[in-house]
Structures are given as C-alpha cells and as structure tokens.
Amino acid sequence: MSFFICTLNLLKGQGFYLKIKTDMDFMRQALTLAAQAKGMVGHDPLVGAVFIKNRQVITKGYHEKLFGLHAEFAAFKNQDFDVEGSTVYVTLEPCAHDDYFPSCAQFLIRKKVKKVLIASLDPNPIENGDGVQLLKKAGIEVITGLMDQENRSLNQAYFERFK
Ligand SMILES: [Zn+2]
C-alpha cells in the first residue's frame, strides 16, 4: 500500500514538473513575441500575450509600437477568437484602468478566460496589483512571477522608470 502511495506521489510530482515546463514554454513564447517590438515602443513596456486552449495556441499578440494596441487586444486585431476557458500567458500584468485603450484585465474578464499567468506585476504604481485583483475578483485563477527575471531584463528601462 505504501509503495502504491509512493508511486502515486512520484507520478503526481512528474505531472507537476511537466506542467511547469509547459507553462514556461508558453511564457517564453510570449516573451519572444514581446521582444519583437524592441526599439518600437518608446517608454512603453515590451509585452506579449499567448492564449492557450487544450495546449494549443488559439491566438497571440504583442505590443507592437508606442501607443499601439496592448498585447491582449493585439491578439484579436485581425480576427475575433473564442477564448472562453483558455489560459493566457502574458508577460506584464494586464492593465486595470482605461487609458488610451480600455482595460486589458476587463477585456480578459469579458472574454471569459479561465486562468492568467503573468511574468511580472506592472511596476507603474497606477497599475501595480490592480489588474491581478480585478481578475481574481472575477473568479479567474492568477499566477504571477513566472519568468519574472527574464521579463525584467527584457524591460530593464521600463522597470528602472518606477524604481
Ligand atoms: Zn492593457
């Protein structure tokens, strides 16, 4: 019996490991997307977003230029997608407040996504943590800090601004 439980725990452990690995793969994809706009976004952050359902990419987008669409909206700029129940990998906390563009957190809530993984919280004090709160309040599972360091080195100038 104890052998059985032990084996079960081992399998669970491996499952967890594989899941983390997959999460990192998708977040890396979002970071690679974000990096495509290097030199184009001015003082804005480089941000990428990937929408996943059943381990398949449904759509993806990135913040392409200064005052351009935020990554979450950019993923839908050419076509609308049904992302209900999907998991979103986004390199920066979705914005909570309407600015030049409507709030990305509200957009994800309207799109009925199930889970959002975020590399870094937005260091901008206007946003910091508010996007996460909004998503959580709407019943969306949120995980933060996945590849935070990688995102910070990609967005060094942006993070420096709010030190
Ligand atoms: Zn936004």
CA distances from 108 to 39, 101, 103, 134 (A): 27, 14, 9, 10
As a dihedral over the C-alpha atoms of residue 32, residue 71, residue 56, residue 144, rounded to 10 degrees, the angle is 80
Indicate if the pLDDT at residue 12 is higher than 70: no
β-strands 48-53, 87-92 pairing: antiparallel
Ligand 1 center to residue 96 CA distance, Å? 7
Indicate if the pLDDT at residue 9 is higher than 70: no
Q: Confidence band (pLDDT; 50, 70, 90) for 3?
A: low
Ligand 1 center to residue 103 CA distance, Å? 5
Ligand 1 center to residue 70 CA distance, Å? 5
Of the listed ranges 13-17, 26-30, 116-120, 156-160, the least confidently predicted one is: 13-17
Residue with the two structure tokens 């199930």: 114
At 42-57, the pLDDT tens digits run 999 999 999 999 889 9
Ligand 1 center to residue 163 CA distance, Å? 21
Those residues with Cβ within 8 angstroms of residue 13's Cβ, 6 or more apart along the chain or in another chain: none
Residue with the two structure tokens 């420096």: 160
At 94-140, the pLDDT tens digits run 999 887 789 999 999 999 999 999 999 999 999 999 999 999 999 99
Residue 61, beta-bridge partner list: 49
Ligand 1 center to residue 13 CA distance, Å? 35
What whole-number percentage of the chain has pLDDT above 90? 80
pLDDT at residue 76 in the model = 98
Report H helices in the chain: 2-35, 71-74, 104-110, 130-137, 148-154, 156-161
Ligand 1 center to residue 19 CA distance, Å? 27
Please give the average per-residue pLDDT across 37-46, as a whole number.
96
pLDDT at residue 19 in the model = 53
Quote the CA–CA distance of 6 and 72 in Å, as a whole number: 42
Indicate if the pLDDT at residue 4 is higher than 70: no
Question: Per the residue annotation, which of 64, 72, 127, 160 is the catalytic one?
Answer: 72
pLDDT at residue 18 in the model = 53
Which helix or strand (DSSP H or E) is residue 91 part of? Answer: strand 87-92
Question: For the whole model, what pTM was predicted?
Answer: 0.86
Tokens representing 6 are 């032990």
Quote the CA–CA distance of 1 and 16 in Å, as a whole number: 23
Q: Is 150 a catalytic residue?
A: no
Ligand 1 center to residue 99 CA distance, Å? 8
92: nearest Cα among 35, 22, 12, 141: 35
Indicate if the pLDDT at residue 20 is higher than 60: no
Tokens representing 58 are 């449904």
What whole-number percentage of the chain has pLDDT above 70? 87
Q: Confidence band (pLDDT; 50, 70, 90) for 22?
A: confident
